[in-house]
Amino acid sequence: MELTELPNSRTEADGSAVIRVLSYNIRSLRDDEDALARVIRGCAPDLVFVQEAPRFFRWRKHAARLAAKCDLVVLSGGATAAGPLLLCSLRAFVERTEDVLLPLTPGHHRRGFATAVVRLGGARVGVLSAHLSLDGPERLAQSQALLDRLAGMDVPYAIAAGDINEGPSGSAFGLLASTLQDCRAVAPWGGEHTWVRSEPPRRIDAVFASAGVEVLGCGVPAGLSGVSSSDLARATDHLPVLAALRLPAVR
C-alpha cells in the first residue's frame, strides 16, 4: 500500500520554504550502499541528518561517494563530529558549519554533533545531527547539550534530528520534546517504529523542530513511492524518518 505523498520541496510566493528532511542511521555503510542511496533519493530530501557515518580510513571519500549517489553534497560532520553527518541539496545556501565533540566518558564511545546554518528560500535555519549515548545519564546530559547548542546558534528556526537511543517515554527524548516539537507526534505520517530488528519495535530516531516551524508530516517512509521495502531492509539496521516542514521567511 502506497503512502499519501508528503508535500514536495518548494519556495512559496512569500519566501517561506517547504522542505523535506531525512534522519538516517547508516551503520557506517556496512550494508548495501546502493540500496541506501535509492532510499535517500526516493525520499527527495533537502537535508539529510546522518548518524554512524564512516569515521576511519578514507572517511571523507566514503561520505562524498554516498552524497554523489544521492545527488547531494556533504555539508558538515563525519569523523570530526564522531559520526553525525549532514548532507544537503544544492538548494541550500550555506552560511556556516561547525563540528562539535562532546565530553568523553571513559569507557564510552565519543559522541558529537554536526551543525550548520543554512538558508532555503527566504528562510534561515540552524540544523544539528546527533547520535546520543547508550548510557541513560550521559544521554540526558547530551540532550541538554543539544538544546544549549541550538539556543546558541542565533537563528530564527532550528531542526535537530538523530538516533536518540530511547523512545518518547525516556528522559532524554522527553527533555528534547519539552523544548522542541517532536515532529512525528505533531503530524503523524507513514510508519512509527525505526528499530524493528528486535522485539519490541521502538521509535528511537526522531526529527525535532523549534517553535514557528510548521510540521506537515513526519514518519518512516515505508510505502512511499520510490522507496521499496527490500531496499529499506538491505540499506542499514535502522529505518529512516522523513519529515516535511514549512519554514517561514525571515523578515
Number of domains in the chain: 1
Q: What percent of the chain has pLDDT above 90?
A: 94
pLDDT tier, 4 (very low <50, low <70, confident <90, very high otherwise) = confident
In this predicted model, what pLDDT tens digit does every residue of 76-127 receive, in sequence order? 999 999 999 999 999 999 999 999 999 998 889 999 999 999 999 999 999 9
Q: Residue 6: inside a domain, yes or no?
A: no
Q: Residue 155: inside a domain, yes or no?
A: yes
Q: Residue 87: inside a domain, yes or no?
A: yes
Average pLDDT over residues 199-206: 96
Q: Residue 207: inside a domain, yes or no?
A: yes
Q: Residue 190: inside a domain, yes or no?
A: yes
In this predicted model, what pLDDT tens digit does every residue of 5-34 receive, in sequence order? 899 999 999 999 999 999 999 999 999 999
Sequence-separated contacts (24+) of 103-108 with Cβ below 8 Å: 105/133, 105/135, 105/138, 108/133, 108/134, 108/135, 108/138
In this predicted model, what pLDDT tens digit does every residue of 127-181 receive, in sequence order? 999 999 999 999 999 999 999 999 999 999 999 999 999 999 999 999 999 999 9
Got the DSSP string for 124-169? EEEEEEEE--SSHHHHHHHHHHHHHHHHTT--SEEEEEEE-SS-TT
Residue 232 has pLDDT above 60, yes or no: yes
Q: Residue 48: inside a domain, yes or no?
A: yes
Q: What residue numbers bound the domain in which 144 lies?
A: 12-247
Specify the DSSP element, H or E, that contains 92. Answer: none
CATH of the domain at 69: 3.60.10.10
pLDDT given for residue 1 in this prediction: 46
The cell for 60 is 571523507
Strands (E) across the chain are located at 10-11, 17-25, 47-51, 73-77, 85-88, 93-101, 112-120, 123-131, 157-163, 181-182, 205-209, 214-219, 241-247
Q: Provide the whole-model pTM.
A: 0.97
Q: Residue 2: inside a domain, yes or no?
A: no
pLDDT tier, 2 (very low <50, low <70, confident <90, very high otherwise) = low
pLDDT tier, 3 (very low <50, low <70, confident <90, very high otherwise) = low
Q: Residue 4: inside a domain, yes or no?
A: no
